[in-house]
Chain A
Amino acid sequence: MTEEVERRPRPASPVTAAVEWIGERVLGGAHAFVGVVGLATSVARWMVRPPFRVANLFAQFDFVGVGSVLIVALTGLFTGMVFATQSWSAFERFGAEGLVGPTVAITITRELAPVLTALMITMRAGSATCTELGTMRVTEQVDALETMAVSPVQYLLVPRVLAGLLMGPLLAMLFDTAGVFGAFTVAVLVKGLSVGTFLLRIQDIVGPDDVTEGLVKAAVFGLVVMLIACYRGYYASGGAKGVGQATTQAMVSSAVSVFVLDYLLGLLFH
């Protein structure tokens, strides 16, 4: 009995447990980062090799891009309206209501459009992609492709990753348009600002660089969130539970990656 008590492992101190917890997550994050980079390399390699499955590519453009039009337009519209309402109440204290248009436009084009579009792609297309690939993995459909001498990376992942890369900026442009229209609705139609003031102020302050910055960010975010979704789904294991966990991990790591990359790209542009 005494021996049994002595053999029992000592409970870890809270400090040790905390260090272990942090260490596990850092190592897990580093492992996933290396995995995503490895997958990106593989996708790039297979992207330039024939056969080029154009129908698969357009199916993914349709799924990621066309399928996200409504949700991105609505998100953009209401983001612009909310932002215009809040900034109106701030600017009217200084009699600077004319700055509502450019303030909303510059924030949307540079930051909100790429970030929120990427989050919409993550929630709508990323989650579905991760679940679909994970299910294909655990039901051996991915192995079946390989045994039929078809590269699963080329057949499944290349079109999805390309769709993220190319549809991200297009959807961000839609977000820009819807957001500025939302701000126009509040500032001009509701609050009574003149159309000329609204548009001229935007023209004076918002330049092509602001739009370019947003579109480059949107392309990077689109690429990264689809890569993460593909990585988590493609390497899913452990049946239905494993696919569920993979999807959760994909959603969380995509969202965090978007915010971290947004900061890093912001440093690069400014």
Chain B
Amino acid sequence: MADRPLMISVRDLHKSFGGNQVLTGVNLDVEEGTTCVILGGSGSGKTVLMKHIIGLLKPDRGQVFVEGEDVVPLDDLEMERVRRKFGMVFQGAALFDSMTVYENVAFPLREHAKLSESEMRKRVEEKLAIVGLHDVADRYPADLSGGMRKRVGLARAIVRDPKIVLYDEPTTGLDPITTDYVDDMILTAKAKLGVTSLVISHDVASAFKVADQIAFLSEGKIVAHAPPAEMRGSTHPAVKLFLSTWFGKN
């Protein structure tokens, strides 16, 4: 790995729900300005891991560092300060259905930035342009396609120029063309804004397209973590089996 500073660092993270052990000692480093994709099967704990990183869940044991600060012991108010470094794109976009596209994207600005209405509108239009959306500002989320909703979700996530963007299953349920568009969108956000991205996915093709690093989560642990080219040659049985679904069972 290059010698970039670590933006996110997870150490020995454990989490169980009832008797079900979901994370059993996750260790993960994400460097500043890179895109790390966490691959893993359904129910492997990818989303649980992401929710720990942004502080929506507290672990049973372990540490999560964001820019060197352990966020696990932080209370709600302190966590709000840390969350301002993040933008998050949800699997179902999680747009506020009572608000228009413009109001959705402007929401983080209204809450945290002291901008005039004209500055806000300019910023919103700029971010909507980055994700390739025009003339949809006055429409409601219910009037948009799944792909458009995801793009609005990304525009909302990046509107305050966060340092880190988290993507939860960004291509799930999309057709191949829209999937390709969303992949380009992730690459564009990284190129234009220089953000650190953490992508949760089980889409192998997308992972190999957007990732600088791929981490594979299996049985509650990261069992492999490498650049895409190296990951393809992984000898770990779970990784081989998972990748074979895309690269062919040889």
Establish whether residues A148 and B90, one from each chain, have CB atoms under 8 Å apart when the complex forms.
Answer: no
Cβ-defined partner of A141 (8 Å) among B84, B86, B96, B166: B96
Chain B binding surface SS class? mixed
User: Does B52 have its Cβ within 8 Å of any Cβ on chain A?
Assistant: no
Establish whether residues B108 and A148, one from each chain, have CB atoms under 8 Å apart when the complex forms.
Answer: yes
User: Does A139 have its Cβ within 8 Å of any Cβ on chain B?
Assistant: yes
- Which residues on the A side are within 8 Å of B88 (C-beta)? 144, 147
Establish whether residues B92 and A140, one from each chain, have CB atoms under 8 Å apart when the complex forms.
Answer: yes
Residue of B nearest to A155 (CB): B111
Interfacial residues of chain A within 102-145, with CB under 8 A of chain B in the complex: 136, 139-141, 143-144
Interfacial residues of chain B within 61-102, with CB under 8 A of chain A in the complex: 76, 80-81, 83-84, 86-88, 90-92, 94-97
Establish whether residues A151 and B92, one from each chain, have CB atoms under 8 Å apart when the complex forms.
Answer: no
Q: Contact mask A140-167 → B, CB, 8 Å, 1/0?
A: 1101101111110000000000000000
- Considering the chains assembled together, what is the distance between the CA atoms of A144 and B107 in angstroms? 11
User: Does B56 have its Cβ within 8 Å of any Cβ on chain A?
Assistant: yes
Establish whether residues A143 and B83, one from each chain, have CB atoms under 8 Å apart when the complex forms.
Answer: no
- Considering the chains assembled together, what is the distance between the CA atoms of A141 and B107 in angstroms? 13
Establish whether residues B94 and A140, one from each chain, have CB atoms under 8 Å apart when the complex forms.
Answer: yes
- Which residues on the B side are within 8 Å of A148 (C-beta)? 83, 107-108, 111-112, 156
Min distance, Cβ B224 to any Cβ of chain A, angstroms? 28
Interfacial residues of chain A within 146-202, with CB under 8 A of chain B in the complex: 146-151
Residue of B nearest to A140 (CB): B94
- Considering the chains assembled together, what is the distance between the CA atoms of A136 and B97 in angstroms? 9
- Which residues on the B side are within 8 Å of A51 (C-beta)? 111
Establish whether residues A143 and B111, one from each chain, have CB atoms under 8 Å apart when the complex forms.
Answer: no
- Given contacts A141-B96, A143-B56, is CB(A149)–CB(B90) below 8 Å? no
Establish whether residues A143 and B94, one from each chain, have CB atoms under 8 Å apart when the complex forms.
Answer: yes
- Which residues on the A side are within 8 Å of B83 (C-beta)? 146-149
**How many residues in A have their beta carbons less than 8 Å from beta carbons of B?**
13
User: Does B211 have its Cβ within 8 Å of any Cβ on chain A?
Assistant: no
Residue of B nearest to A148 (CB): B108
Min distance, Cβ A145 to any Cβ of chain B, angstroms? 9
- Which residues on the A side are within 8 Å of B54 (C-beta)? 146-147
Interface centre among A143, A147, A150 (most CB of B within 10 A): A147
Residue of B nearest to A49 (CB): B77
- Considering the chains assembled together, what is the distance between the CA atoms of A30 and B188 in angstroms? 52
- Given contacts A139-B94, A141-B94, A141-B96, is CB(A147)–CB(B86) below 8 Å? yes
Cβ-defined partner of B80 (8 Å) among A136, A144, A151: A151
Min distance, Cβ A141 to any Cβ of chain B, angstroms? 5
Min distance, Cβ B197 to any Cβ of chain A, angstroms? 15
Establish whether residues B86 and A140, one from each chain, have CB atoms under 8 Å apart when the complex forms.
Answer: no
Establish whether residues A149 and B94, one from each chain, have CB atoms under 8 Å apart when the complex forms.
Answer: no
- Which residues on the B side are within 8 Å of A139 (C-beta)? 92, 94, 97
Establish whether residues A140 and B111, one from each chain, have CB atoms under 8 Å apart when the complex forms.
Answer: no
- Which residues on the A side are within 8 Å of B87 (C-beta)? 147
- Given contacts A141-B96, A143-B56, A144-B94, is CB(A149)–CB(B76) below 8 Å? no
Cβ-defined partner of B111 (8 Å) among A136, A141, A149: A149
Selected A-B contacts with CB under 8 Å, 6 pairs? A51-B111, A139-B94, A140-B90, A146-B54, A148-B107, A149-B81
Residues of chain B touching chain A, judged by Cβ–Cβ distance below 8 Å, are 51, 54-56, 76, 80-81, 83-84, 86-88, 90-92, 94-97, 107-108, 111-112, 156, 166
Q: A140-B92, A143-B51, A146-B83 are in contact. List 18 more A-B contacts (CB 8 A).
A: A139-B94, A139-B97, A141-B97, A143-B56, A143-B90, A143-B94, A144-B95, A144-B96, A147-B83, A147-B86, A147-B166, A148-B111, A148-B156, A149-B80, A149-B81, A149-B83, A149-B112, A150-B80
Residues of chain A touching chain B, judged by Cβ–Cβ distance below 8 Å, are 51, 136, 139-141, 143-144, 146-151
